[in-house]
Amino acid sequence: MSSAKPNKKQNTYKIPKYTVKEALVNYYLFIMFALFPLFFSNRFFNIRHDKFYFFIILTGALLVAELLIIATYTIDNTAAVNQTKERADKLPLYKTLSFTDWAVLAFLAVCIISTLLSDHPYEAFFGESLSAASAGRNSGLLLIIFYVVAYFLITRLFHYFEYVFVAFACGSALVFILAILNSFYIDPFQMFVGLDEHQQIIFTSTIGNINLLSSFICVALPVMITLSVHTQKNSLRALYLVVSGIGFASLMVADSDSGILGLGGFLIIYLIWYSRRIDRLKRYFLAVSVMLIFSKLLRLFSLIMNDRNKGMDTYQSFFVYSNSSYILLAAIGLITIGLYLLDSKKPGITLSKAVPITLTVIFALIAAAVISIVVYFSCIDTKTDLGNLNTLLRFNDKWGTHRGFMWIRSMWIFGDFSFIDKIFGCGPDTFYFAFSPYFEELTKFGDSSTNAAHNEYINYLITVGIAGLAAYLAIVGGAIARAVKTAKQNPLAIVFVSAVICYSVQAVVNISQPITTPLFIIFIALCEALSSKRCKTKIS
């Protein structure tokens, strides 16, 4: 008798039912996480188009399915219908939109205007040209429209189930493993057939170019690391840690500095974020330890393969081949053990706010020092021979595999734009046409043309102008700010935003394309789904 009242009371506060519309979004995410990275039709020859059409068709199918459900779904509960109508009457549609929602709509509007004003509207819409094979990367208005569709479907209908991210771990692990095998010329899917020696070096796994593999790693790896920190299930933590280790090993063989930059930025930011809570800091350092161990396992695998591989750059070689990296591994391992012992003796310790503040100041000073050194050797002392550091510390045309050449000329192009072009750009994904006057000069670096600035932010400035870049930055900044705020109540937010942060850092030296950018957009949408409190479930 005494328990009847509380039970009745509890029944009045039912958790909203998991609907078919939400289930479809999770199936969509499952496919995008598990199958999309692995999909290809004809080795590397059509891989960009393969991913482009996969994303377009899958997202379009989801939209059609959701619209059919809305059109055919009937609600028998009259009270529920009345409540929905009352909420709609009280709250106009525009007031339900968040800052990030408005930024996404603004970006779409700018891209539409930019396409209409472009001298190359066909190319701006489709992101490729009938006359010039290298005119774009299928990142035109059409792809942007589907990004917006995916964003609004996910933000409105996402319901957390961990199996979706287990699928992401498994799909990513297969990409990572294949990249490692390919780096040692092991080609189980005969992907290298028809490629010359140079192409075999720069293409890998089911992603394509090594820079794009780094971009994929910068989406998947931070999510694996943060899931290993936050999940309460030891079996899943083991899975995420192993995938993190394999992911780090694949970053070593990707041989692209963009991935090192992105992961380095992520690790610094999350060290500061976790620095107050020992229970999370110990797992963060455990993940770092596992990654360093896997880099040494990669060295062992290299010995087994008689060191017959595609080669590694300086930074990657340090982690894999240098004996000095054992010192780093030992130091990180000791810190990890110490944190676990401390947490076992005094569980629930929270350190002073001075710790993250001090770390922030230290890393800010290091960044300021590096920038100052680059400015000094780029503008004041331009003669001193810096050896291997010349391409890093002296910004000129040769900087960053001649990214300096493209960035400097991009600023010249922007300076020559008309006022309207400065605001709206020359059209989405039409960088090829804007940069064409410099193609002849570009040949001295071995390239006959380029269709991207190899800096997403400069690329948006040229193609969609100040308005487009501002809207894009508002999307990324809004997603990060709202996720950080939400993370205090729901740790999932700090998991999802890790991909946004890591990708955004590597984007400084990389490109937007339909191979990895769709996953970045998905994680922006997941951040917003949590921030708007539409997600019904959270991890502890």
Average pLDDT over residues 8-35: 79
The secondary structure of 414-439 as a DSSP string is HHHS-HHHHHH-S-TT-HHHHHGGGH
Asked whether residue 380 is assigned to any structural domain, the reply reads yes
Predicted confidence band at 276 (pLDDT cuts at 50, 70, 90)?
very high
CA atoms within 13 A on the CB side of 121: 4
What pLDDT is stored for residue 387 in this prediction? Answer: 80
Which two tokens mark 373?
């050194």
Query: Would you say how long the chain is, in residues?
Result: 540
Phi, psi of 228 (to 5 degrees): -65, -30
* pLDDT score recorded for residue 81: 47
- Pairwise CA distance, residues 504 & 204, whole Å: 22
Provide the 3-class DSSP secondary structure of residue 203.
strand
Contact 44, 203 (CB under 8 A): yes
pLDDT beyond 80 at 234: yes
Q: What is the pLDDT of residue 88?
A: 46
- Give the residue-averaged pLDDT of 463-485: 97
Question: According to the model, what pLDDT value does residue 536 have?
Answer: 60
Crossing angle of the two packed helices 20-34 and 517-531, in degrees rounded to 10:
140
What pLDDT digit, counting tens, does each position of 175-216 carry?
999 999 999 999 999 999 989 888 999 999 999 999 999 999
The predicted pLDDT at position 132 comes to 64
* Residue 539: pLDDT band with limits 50, 70, 90: low
Q: What is the pLDDT of residue 103?
A: 98
Residue 270: which of 259, 257, 258, 285 has the closest Cα?
285
Buried b (16+ CB within 10 A) or exposed e, 112-125: bbbbebbebbbbbb
Q: What is the pLDDT of residue 2?
A: 41
Report the run of H or E that residue 209 belongs to, with start and end.
strand 208-209
Per the domain annotation, does 432 fall within a domain? yes
Mean pLDDT of 129-146: 85
For residues 104 and 126, give the distance between their C-alpha atoms in angstroms, rounded to a whole number.
Answer: 19
Burial of 499: CB neighbours in 10 Å, binned 0-12, 13-18, 19+? buried
pLDDT of residue 92: 67
CA distances from 390 to 322, 380, 384, 407, 459 (A): 22, 14, 9, 17, 25
Question: For residue 372, what are the contacts with CB-CB under 8 A and spacing of at least 6?
Answer: none
Question: How confident is residue 366, by pLDDT bands cut at 50, 70 and 90?
Answer: very high
Does position 515 have pLDDT exceeding 80, yes or no? Answer: yes
Q: Is 512 a domain residue?
A: yes
Q: Which one has a higher pLDDT value, 59 or 449?
A: 59
- Residues 298 and 320: beta-carbon distance below 8 Å: yes
Residue 221: its H or E element: helix 210-230
Classify residue 2: in a domain, yes or no: no
Residue 65: pLDDT over 90: yes
Instruction: Place 135 in a pLDDT band, splitting at 50, 70 and 90.
Output: confident
Q: Which of 385-394, 418-427, 450-459, 510-519 has the lowest mean pLDDT?
A: 385-394
Q: What pLDDT shows up at residue 72?
A: 87
Convert the pLDDT of each residue in 405-422 to its tens digit: 999 999 999 999 999 999
Smallest Cα–Cα separation from 290: which of 221, 349, 355? Answer: 221
pLDDT, mean of residues 462-468:
98
Residues 6+ apart with CB under 8 A from 44: 191, 195, 199, 203, 208
Residue 81 located in a structural domain: no
Which of 529, 210, 272 is closest to 401 using CA atoms?
210
Question: Who's near 462: CB < 8 A, 6+ residues apart?
Answer: 410, 413, 414, 425, 426, 431, 434, 435, 453
DSSP notation for 288-352: HHHHHHHHHHHHHHHHHTTT-SS---HHHHHHHT-THHHHHHHHHHHHHHHHHHHHHHSTT-B--
Residue 315 in this model has a pLDDT that exceeds 80: yes
Domain count, the chain: 1
- Cβ atoms of 530 and 159 closer than 8 Å: no
In a domain, 3, yes or no: no
Q: How far is CA 290 from CA 73, 225, 227, 246, in A?
A: 49, 10, 14, 9
Residue 84 reports pLDDT greater than 70: no
- Is residue 480 very low, low, confident or very high in pLDDT (cuts 50, 70, 90)? very high
Reported as a pLDDT band with limits 50, 70 and 90, residue 537 is: low
For 487-500, give the DSSP string: TTT-THHHHHHHHH
Residue 128 DSSP SS3: coil
DSSP letter, residue 140: S
Instruction: Report d(CA 303, CA 292) in Å as an integer.
Output: 17
DSSP per-residue letters across 172-201: HHHHHHHHHHHHTT--TT-TTTT--HHHHH
Residue (of 518, 471, 527) closest to 494 by Cα position: 527
Which of 84-93, 456-465, 474-483 shows the lowest mean pLDDT across its residues?
84-93
- The span from the CA of 524 to the CA of 502, in Å, is 12
Q: CA–CA separation, 351 vs 358, rounded Å?
A: 12
Most confident of 190-194, 373-377, 394-398, 406-410: 406-410
Largest CA distance in the chain: 89
Q: What pLDDT is stored for residue 448 in this prediction? A: 86
For residue 80, pLDDT beyond 80: no
Q: Is residue 6 part of a domain?
A: no
Residue 251 domain-assigned (yes or no): yes
Q: How confident is the model at residue 134 (pLDDT cuts 50, 70, 90)?
A: low
Average model confidence (pLDDT) across the chain? 91
pTM flag (> 0.75): yes
Q: Looking at residue 386, what is its pLDDT?
A: 82
Examine the pLDDT at 165 and tell me if it is beyond 60: yes
- Can you give the pLDDT at residue 540? 47
Q: What is the pLDDT of residue 478?
A: 96
- The residue segments making up the domain with residue 175 are 19-70+92-531
